[in-house]
C-alpha cells in the first residue's frame, strides 16, 4: 500500500485529508519541517502533501528543496499546500521541484483526486 505523508501544523487539515483519502493509502503525519524531512528520508513515501508556513527550523520550501536535492528522495512526489497564492509563490515552489500547488482553502476532492492519480 502506498504511503502518503501529510505535513501541516494545523491538525484539522491533516485530519480532513486523512479522512478524505480513506483507505486508499497508508497515512503518515508530521507537523513541522524537520520531522517531515526525517520521515521523507526514512519512509520514502510515494506522495507528500506539504505546507509551506510551519514552525521550527525548516519551512516547507526548505523541505522541498532538501528532498528534491537528495538522490534517494528526489523521486518522491510532493504537492504544496499553502495559503500563499501569489505567482511568485507558485514560481518558487516550481523552481524547487514541486509537483503540484494547492492554495488554501483548497478543495479536498481536488487534492484527493491528485493524490490518487499519483499512487495508481
**Residue 32: CATH number of its domain:** 3.40.50.2300
Host domain of residue 61? 3-119
The answer to pTM > 0.85 is yes
> Which residue, among 52, 57, 54, has the nearest Cα to 78 in the 3D structure?
52
Tell me how many domains the chain contains.
Answer: 1
Strands in 26-30's sheet, in edge-to-edge order, are: 26-30, 3-7, 47-51, 77-82, 100-103
Contact present, 69 and 96 (Cβ < 8 Å) = no
**Coil, helix or strand at residue 15:** helix
Helical axes 108-119 vs 11-21, angle rounded to 10°: 60
The model's pLDDT over 64-106, given as tens digits with 9 standing for 90+, comes to 999 999 999 999 999 999 998 888 999 999 999 999 999 999 9
Which pLDDT score is estimated for 33? 96
Nearest alpha-carbon partner for 33 in 16, 52, 58: 58
Q: What is the DSSP letter of 48?
A: E
Burial class (CB in 10 A: 0-12, 13-18, 19+), 5: buried
pLDDT in tens, 20-66: 998 889 999 999 999 999 999 999 999 999 999 998 999 999 999 99
Amino acid at each position: 500500500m502506498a504511503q502518503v505523508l501529510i505535513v501541516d501544523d494545523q491538525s484539522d487539515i491533516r485530519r480532513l485529508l486523512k479522512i478524505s483519502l480513506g483507505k486508499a493509502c497508508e497515512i503518515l503525519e508530521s507537523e513541522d519541517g524537520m520531522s517531515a524531512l526525517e520521515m521523507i528520508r526514512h519512509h520514502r513515501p510515494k506522495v507528500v502533501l506539504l505546507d509551506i508556513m510551519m514552525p521550527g527550523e525548516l519551512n516547507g520550501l526548505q523541505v522541498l528543496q532538501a528532498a528534491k536535492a537528495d538522490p534517494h528522495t528526489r523521486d518522491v512526489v510532493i504537492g504544496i499546500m499553502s495559503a500563499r497564492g501569489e505567482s511568485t509563490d507558485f514560481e518558487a515552489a516550481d523552481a524547487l521541484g514541486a509537483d503540484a500547488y494547492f492554495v488554501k482553502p483548497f478543495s479536498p476532492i481536488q487534492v484527493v483526486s491528485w493524490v490518487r492519480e499519483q499512487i495508481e
